[in-house]
Amino acid sequence: MRRIAPRTLLTSLGAVVVALALPVLYAGPAAAAVDKVSHGNAQNQLRTGGVGWASSGNCSSRYISTCTSFEQINQGTLNGALTLKRASGCSITITGGTEVGHAAGTYSHFNGYKVDVATSRTVTTCIDRYVRAHFTYVGNRADGAPQYRSAAGNIYANEGAHWDITYY
């Protein structure tokens, strides 16, 4: 057993006490870690969950606006779309993902926070009914799209041709 000189021990203990006494700066809530998913992984999850997708350009490149890409989508966004499918019982087809051509911003399509869900006669009726019955109307966006907030805080904006959904 190694013997420590009393002075060394006190100096070491003093440093610990000083370190413990230093104020801790609080910078607010920590941002949640975001898990990014590859296009292929996202497709597998959506297919397994019964959620479809379509692309007006019949492609999946993230850098072509007519494609529908899931590259770098957030796992939470995928979970949200899958939950919407299960909870609503509606047919869900995603027509917009992380591809370019959408509005910029922190909580944007490109950053993985949004998907567009198609509306058709059948889907519109089902999705519209579900959103209006289960979520809270919070007013119109600057572009006039009516917005609804889920209990989880996600925002569903009806842009007419599709629901623009932000999953936080």
**Residue-level pLDDT at 124:** 61
Instruction: Pick out the chain residues at pLDDT < 70.
Output: 1-32, 120-124
**Residue-level pLDDT at 111:** 97
pLDDT tens-digit profile of 107-138? Answer: 999 999 999 999 866 556 898 899 999 999 99
What distance in Å separates the CA atoms of residue 135 and residue 137, rounded to the nearest whole number? 7
In DSSP terms, 139 is beta-bridged to 147
Helix H or strand E segment including 16? helix 6-21
pLDDT tens-digit profile of 97-108? Answer: 999 999 999 999
User: Backbone phi, then psi, for 6, in 5-degree steps?
Assistant: -55, -40
What distance in Å separates the CA atoms of residue 68 and residue 115, rounded to the nearest whole number? 10
What distance in Å separates the CA atoms of residue 46 and residue 94, rounded to the nearest whole number? 10
Domain range list for the chain: 35-166
**Residue-level pLDDT at 29:** 41
**Residue-level pLDDT at 161:** 87
**Residue-level pLDDT at 12:** 41
**Residue-level pLDDT at 34:** 86
Task: Return the SS3 of 139.
Answer: strand
